[in-house]
Each structure stands twice: as C-alpha cells, then as structure tokens.
C-alpha cells in the first residue's frame, strides 16, 4: 500500500511536468498554445486565491519571468495538491488505526 501512496503523491508533479513540457514545445508539436495554457491555468485554478496576491517580483529578464510564471502556474499548485493528498492519506491512516484494537505482544 505504501507504493500506491507514493505514486498518488507524485501524480500532481507528473501532471505539472507534462504541462510544462507541452507549454515549452507547443510550437514544435503544432499544438495551440492557448489550449495548453488553458490547461495549465485550469490546473492551478483551485489555488488562484492563494497565488494571486501579487507577491511575485517583476523580472526584466524574459527567461526569469517565464521560470517564475511556470513556478506559480504549475509547480506551486502541484506542491499544494501533493501536500493536501498527503494530509488526506495521513488522516485516513490515523482514522483506520484508531478503530483497530491494539495487538498484544507475543
């Protein structure tokens, strides 16, 4: 069961990685950039209230701006999704352990 938890906790990072690769290579694959960006924003939408505070600095270097944008749109929400899943799995494990009687030593 431990490997299932680990896989489940890495799923948000895998989704963020796929979206990041698709956003960077949309022209090469002849994909529509707007749709791929929409999927990225859809991925981060539940966390928009937390991430849309304007606390990010304004970089004048294009690559730094892209890197920071990808971090806010993809990687920070992936970390938050994974953290929430971890808390959920941890809470479920605690609930299932409370209901079981303690084993007596042999």
pLDDT digits (tens, 9 = 90+) for 66-91: 777 778 788 888 999 999 999 999 98
Residue 7 is assigned to a structural domain of this protein: yes
**What is the DSSP code string of 3-59?**
HHHHHHHHHHHHHHHHHHHHHHTTTTTT--HHHHHHHHHHHHGGGHHHH-SS-S---
Residue 18 is assigned to a structural domain of this protein: yes
Residue 11, pLDDT score: 93
Residue 104 is assigned to a structural domain of this protein: no
Q: How many whole angstroms separate alpha carbon 15 and alpha carbon 21?
A: 10
Instruction: Return the closest-CA partner of residue 51 out of 74, 26, 24.
Output: 74
Domain count, the chain: 1
Residue 85, pLDDT score: 93
Find the domain containing 8 and state its range.
2-98
Residue 103 is assigned to a structural domain of this protein: no
- Averaged pLDDT of the chain: 81
């Amino acid at each position: 069961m431990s490997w299932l938890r680990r896989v489940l906790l890495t799923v948000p990072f895998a989704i963020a990685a796929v979206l990041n690769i698709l956003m960077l290579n949309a022209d090469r694959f002849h994909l529509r950039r707007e749709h791929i960006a929409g999927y990225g924003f859809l991925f981060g939408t539940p966390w928009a209230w937390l991430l849309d505070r304007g606390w990010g600095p304004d970089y004048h270097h294009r690559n730094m701006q892209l890197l920071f944008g990808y971090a806010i749109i993809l990687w920070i929400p992936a970390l938050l999704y994974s953290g929430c899943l971890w808390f959920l799995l941890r809470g479920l494990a605690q609930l299932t352990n409370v209901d079981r009687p303690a084993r007596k030593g042999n």
